[in-house]
Amino acid sequence: MNAIEMKSITKRFGPLVANDHIDFDLQKGEIHALLGENGAGKTTLMRILYGLYHADSGQILVDGSPVHITSPKDAIGWGIGMVSQHFTLVSPLTVAENVVLGYNKGYIYRPQEVIQNVTKAANQFGIDVEPSAIIRHLSVGERQRVEILKALYHNAKVLIMDEPTAVLVPQEVDILFQTLERLRKDGLSVIFISHKLYEVMTICDRITVLRDGKKIGTVLKNDTSERELARMMVGRETFGVYRQGEQKAGNPLLRIENITAVDKKGLTALKNVSLNVYEGEVLGIAGVSGNGQSELTQVLSGTLKPASGKIFIGDKEITNASPSEITRAGVGRIPEDRHAGVVGELTVAENLALESIEKFTRRSTLDKRLILKNAEQLISEYQIKARPTDPIRTLSGGNMQKVILARALSPEPRVVIASQPTRGLDVGATEYVRTKLLEQRNRGAAVLLLSEDLEEVMSLSDRIAVIYEGQIVGIVPGTEATEEQLGLMMTGARQEVKQHG
């Protein structure tokens, strides 16, 4: 009997059909991958199963009987647990409080008793966490274990894991896989959402592939190959953008000298970071999220003042410069969070104009015609699917990112700072963004690429610097870097690497 059966699930968001009559089944004690590109409908389907969304039509069966799941509470009641990509933990509360949240019986809450219970459960399931710790103080890997413990504590028989490896370093991934393997032996069924082929081939028994909201098929791992899965996933065999040839290093266009910075909470986020990015190269920065990448981007964008150190664009010092001075110095910036790079309520045209507003102003009055003309030109040049007067929040992620690219790259900056440029984008848009970045490199710009996607860093970078706990732990040439070596460095295993170039 199947632990879960989903029959002909359909879900629309406005005109978009996120799930189109999808059938899905999960056997007891299996790890079943839900594979697909971003936007294929995987997460939507699972959010329906977990009661966070309501399907427009379709049926869900648990252990063979039809059920109505209208809230996570219902789902938990039916033995379904979910570990989302963005952890759903309350950070000022303790591990134990998070585990029992929403599930604690009676009126009185007794902290000691709860900690004991959670400790017992953690031991029983073999999950290594400290129940009295405050979530805020835990690492990403630990937080994920809290999420798993939370689901198991609520008697989950089915565990949905939404892209669980996206935030982990390779070594933590191994620990996760071992944990899942062991829990599976104890009878747990797991739905494993992923878009990484090698992962699903490592850990899963069966694989269901979704594309554009439709189910493409379900295959046994032993009957398939990465190549076949890739074709099912994207409708063609190979994809990707790679840089060509080694670039001869020219002059350093971006020089970062001994930058130290403090984050919002007052903790040192960057320690003595020094980097040179040369004319015509992509310098990739690899690292697990939260190791200082955000602060480095902010310092270089002018939105965070460094505590010490200097930054130069060519010969011009831009330490402590404002964002507009940095833009004028010849820096194109692609922000980490694209929603923090555009104002959603303003129009596409206004967002394109605001960064260099003085060009569109005549005696402090806006030149609306020029703003519109500028937008029309960039929209056609960057193939943005939008009208100049659309509020930018109505654009898809890919189109929004193209607006940001257009704004950052059209003035032909000498230095490009791209932070997580393809996060959450579909294949087409990802390819487009990567191509554009390489175009900048080939044009002679210095490109600093910060990405948590190791594959992206490896395929685009001429040199790769690894950041760990706010420090650059080493720089390796792109041609020599291996995933294992970078993975080790990303976890802080410092090694002697000679500064390249």
| Angstrom distances, CA of residue 18 to CA of 13, 36, 145, 429, 430 | 7, 13, 30, 18, 20
Among 6, 40, 53, 476, binds other proteins (CB under 8 A): 53
Return the range that interacts with other proteins (CB under 8 A); candidates 34-42, 202-210, 225-233, 345-353: 345-353
Q: What is the 3-state secondary structure (H, E, C) of 465-476?
A: EEEECCEEEEEE
Binding flag, residue 109, other proteins (CB under 8 A): yes
Q: Which is nearer to other proteins, 159 or 458 (CB)?
A: 159
Give the Cα separation of 438 and 452 in Å (integer). 18
Among 4, 49, 76, 173, binds other proteins (CB under 8 A): 76
Return the range that interacts with other proteins (CB under 8 A); candidates 59-67, 108-116, 173-181, 254-262: 108-116
> Alpha helices of 129-194 — where are they, by DSSP H?
140-153, 170-185
Q: What six digits make up the tokens of 57?
A: 């039509």
Among 110, 137, 182, 227, binds other proteins (CB under 8 A): 110
Q: Which is nearer to other proteins, 52 or 249 (CB)?
A: 52
Binding flag, residue 387, other proteins (CB under 8 A): no
Q: Which is nearer to other proteins, 309 or 323 (CB)?
A: 323
Q: Which is nearer to other proteins, 70 or 258 (CB)?
A: 70
Among 242, 364, 369, 380, binds other proteins (CB under 8 A): 364
Binding flag, residue 305, other proteins (CB under 8 A): no
Binding flag, residue 113, other proteins (CB under 8 A): no
Considering only CA atoms, which of 135, 131, 104 is closest in space to residue 119? 131
Cβ proximity of 65 and 16 under 8 Å: no
Q: What six digits make up the tokens of 156?
A: 């989950």
Give the Cα separation of 467 and 482 in Å (integer). 16
How many residues lie near other proteins (CB under 8 A)? 66
Return the range that interacts with other proteins (CB under 8 A); candidates 19-27, 125-133, 155-163, 357-365: 357-365
Among 2, 10, 27, 88, binds other proteins (CB under 8 A): 88
> Nearest distance from residue 100's CB to other proteins, in Å?
8
> Nearest distance from residue 344's CB to other proteins, in Å?
6
**CA contacts within 13 A on the Cβ side of 375:** 24
Binding flag, residue 116, other proteins (CB under 8 A): no
Q: Which is nearer to other proteins, 208 or 419 (CB)?
A: 419
Binding flag, residue 333, other proteins (CB under 8 A): yes
Q: What six digits make up the tokens of 121?
A: 């459960």
Return the range that interacts with other proteins (CB under 8 A); candidates 178-186, 247-255, 287-295, 317-325: 317-325
Considering only CA atoms, which of 258, 352, 265, 336 is closest in space to residue 301? 336
How many CB atoms are closer than 10 A to CB 174?
13
Contact code string over 118-157 relative to other proteins, x by CB under 8 A: --------------------------------x-------
Give the Cα separation of 443 and 282 in Å (integer). 12
Among 166, 175, 249, 346, binds other proteins (CB under 8 A): 346
Residues in region 367-386 near other proteins by CB under 8 A: 368
Q: Which residues contact 42 (CB under 8 A, 6 or more apart)?
A: 34, 35, 36, 162, 193, 210
Cβ proximity of 384 and 378 under 8 Å: yes
> Nearest distance from residue 393's CB to other proteins, in Å?
9
Q: Which residues contact 228 (CB under 8 A, 6 or more apart)?
A: 219
Q: Which residues contact 192 (CB under 8 A, 6 or more apart)?
A: 31, 32, 33, 34, 161, 164, 180, 199, 200, 203, 204
Among 59, 104, 260, 459, binds other proteins (CB under 8 A): 104
Cβ proximity of 450 and 296 under 8 Å: yes
> Nearest distance from residue 104's CB to other proteins, in Å?
5
Considering only CA atoms, which of 375, 408, 380, 377 is closest in space to residue 392? 375
Give the Cα separation of 209 and 215 in Å (integer). 6
Return the range that interacts with other proteins (CB under 8 A); candidates 7-15, 116-124, 225-233, 481-489: 7-15
- Helix, strand or coil for residue 134? strand
Contact code string over 180-219 relative to other proteins, x by CB under 8 A: ----------------------------------------
Question: What are the residues binding other proteins (CB under 8 A)?
Answer: 12-15, 50, 52-53, 71-73, 76, 82, 84, 86-93, 97-98, 100-111, 150, 301-303, 322-324, 327, 333, 335, 339-346, 350-351, 353-355, 357-358, 360-361, 364-366, 368
